[in-house]
Amino acid sequence: MDALFTEDVRYTDPLADVSGREQLSGLIGAVQAQFPGFVFRPAGDADAHHDQVRFTWHLGPDGAEAPVTGFDVAVTDGDGRIATVLGFLDRVPS
């Protein structure tokens, strides 16, 4: 995680807003616990320029239609580590 994210990485989406590697790791663990057996998978190619990248993703059971979809924009620092992730949810189960 240290090579991928800055120490003070910030992740924000409509349901969460955390800062730091430890809080991000906790959030990832909470999502995995909330959706057991679900996997994230890309929904196409990433689009990048300057120090930012955007990508669309699906979250659902492997091999089945995903009930959750969204896209993220990640901003990197000068060393290529992710400093900020801004998440958007396009489809979520009610």
pLDDT for 1: 82
Task: Return d(Cα 47, Cα 55) in angstroms, integer.
Answer: 6
Task: Return d(Cα 71, Cα 86) in angstroms, integer.
Answer: 9
Task: Return d(Cα 84, Cα 75) in angstroms, integer.
Answer: 5
pLDDT for 93: 87
pLDDT tens, residue by residue, 37-83: 999 999 999 999 999 999 999 999 999 999 999 999 999 999 999 99
pLDDT at 20 over 90: yes
pTM: predicted TM-score of the whole model, two decimal places: 0.90
